[in-house]
Amino acid sequence: MLIRKISAILLLAFSFLILSCGDDKNSDDIKTEKVKTDDKVLSDIIIDEELGISYQVPLQWELMSSELTERYVARLDSEKFDGNFIVYQPKAFYFNSSISGLLRVGGIDKSKESEEKELSIQNYITLYQKFNSVQNIKQKKIQTDNLIVTQLIIEKSNLISFKNIFVNKNKKIIQFDF
């Protein structure tokens, strides 16, 4: 019951996305789920010019201090994937105290030392799965009115994490991590 409620909240929260269309194409081997938005339960539009997106979050989610963002970036920058470094740069954190849920919004990029010429969503997922091989990771596509999003559903013990990943108009990989 709780997982269904969280999934519904997350699909609704993520369906907010996007006044910023992406370029991710639908994959034939992964089923695409369509979602609709309900603006009555969402915040005003949040514009992040640095990430190149506009989005909304559910009304119950509160913006957290930016100090936490900076500390988290420093820790994530040191994670290594087979000689390639993937840098997740969270720009905003939101917290929902009623479900103890955390939402991070940020960009994904490769480090300057990375050998990969271009980081694609599939390349990122492959590297993520290799680094997190002991976790149960499922993948699906979500389609909003403007965008097709790749969603990773990660289960580890009592924790379920949803990583919603897409490419914005500027060809930057964006991740909403619940």
pLDDT in tens, 1-58: 444 444 444 444 444 444 344 444 444 455 566 656 666 788 889 999 999 999 989 8
Higher pLDDT, 19 or 169: 169
Residue 173 predicted with pLDDT over 50:
yes
pLDDT, one tens digit per residue, over 49-96 is 999 999 989 888 999 987 776 666 655 655 555 556 677 888 899 999
Higher pLDDT, 99 or 16: 99
Q: Enter the tokens of residue 143.
A: 């389609």
Q: Check residue 143 and give its pLDDT.
A: 85
Q: Check residue 165 and give its pLDDT.
A: 94
Full set of structural domains in the chain with CATH? 2-177 (3.40.1000)
What are the CA-CA distances from residue 66 to residues 71, 118, 133 (Å)? 9, 29, 31
Residue 115 predicted with pLDDT over 80:
no
Q: Of the given ranges (60-69, 102-111, 125-134), which has the lowest mean pLDDT?
A: 125-134
Q: Phi then psi for 132, rounded to 5 degrees? A: -115, 45
pTM beyond cutoff 0.95: no
Confidence of residue 163 (pLDDT cuts 50, 70, 90): very high
Q: Check residue 80 and give its pLDDT.
A: 52
Most trustworthy range by pLDDT among 63-72, 127-136, 165-174: 165-174
Mean pLDDT of 157-173: 89
Q: Give the integer Cα–Cα distance in Å for 17 and 174.
A: 11
